[in-house]
Amino acid sequence: MTERIVVAMGGGGFTMEPDNPLLDDHILDLARATRGRQRPRICFIPTASGDSPAYIAEFYAAFARRSEADHLALFNRTVEDIEGLLRHQDVIYVGGGTTVNMLALWRLHGVDRALRRAWKSGVVMAGLSAGSVCWFEAGTTDAFGAGLEVLSGGLGLLPGSHAPHYDGDATRRGHFRRLIAEGVLPAGYAADDGAALIFHDTELAEVVTSRPDARGYRVWRGSAGDAVETVLPARYLG
């Protein structure tokens, strides 16, 4: 059977830790192990940043020497066959930014369907922040401009909800816990900056980190109507 992998980073990678490539190295190692190429093919999707040229340049600086790097732009789209491009990859890496705008634009261009098919075919899915929340059914976002809000309508490759940057913003932990306690969000997972949740199919296989103190969490609604949070075992990659 084809192994389907998602790497959901709360934060980190070349975007946030340009001098600490541990998480990005691990993503490429996963692709080498599952796809069999020493120079994996990796496609960056920077939709959430508005296809920021600077962000795209940072991606190529981080990956071009050790992989076959490409990117998919939608604001000035030049790729006709999006599904063909994405299914040709070994890794799809989604950047951070505005999650709700990204998801809306993906659906207009059919990227949502193409990503699902690529995932089913064994392409490793990865990303941070917006590129982490998008794989789940729901989560939290600051994309509406009035603090943290509920994000619904994620791609749903992974069940439940997700909160990235769990230790990077003082409000995120309490907000996520409250929404789960109130039943607004289903049970889910949170990740600190520097932590990556690795799913095989739809089950969490492991948490890996680029910092010794970074953590992943499972959060659910307890029988008393409160939020129950447990720290997940994590493997430091350093």
Per-residue pLDDT tens digits for 106-165: 999 999 999 999 999 999 999 999 999 999 999 988 777 767 789 899 999 999 999 999
**What are the start-end ranges of the H helices in 36-168?**
53-63, 82-87, 99-109, 111-120, 130-133
pLDDT of residue 141: 84
Question: In the chain, helix, strand, coil percent, each to 5?
Answer: 30, 30, 40
Look-up of token digits 């975007």: 15
Helix, strand or coil for residue 221?
strand
Q: Which helix (H) or strand (E) holds 111?
A: helix 111-120
Nearest to 134 by CA among 166, 176, 104: 104
DSSP strand pairing (5-9 vs 124-128): parallel
Residue ranges of domains in the chain, CATH in brackets = 5-236 (3.40.50.880)
Do residues 21 and 58 touch, judged by C-beta distance below 8 A? no
pLDDT of residue 180: 96
Look-up of token digits 């990796």: 42
Catalytic residue among 129, 132, 161, 210: 129
Annotated catalytic residue 210: no
Annotated catalytic residue 152: no
Do residues 128 and 195 touch, judged by C-beta distance below 8 A? no
Nearest to 141 by CA among 125, 165, 116, 167: 165
Catalytic residue among 26, 162, 165, 175: 165
Q: Quick one: how far is CA 16 from the chain centroid?
A: 14
pLDDT of residue 214: 98
Q: What is the pLDDT along the chain (238 residues), one digit of tens a residue?
A: 688 999 999 999 999 999 999 999 999 999 999 999 999 999 999 999 999 999 999 999 999 999 999 999 999 999 999 999 999 999 999 999 999 999 999 999 999 999 999 999 999 999 999 999 999 999 988 777 767 789 899 999 999 999 999 998 888 999 999 999 999 999 999 999 999 999 999 999 999 999 999 999 999 999 999 999 999 999 999 9
pLDDT of residue 225: 93
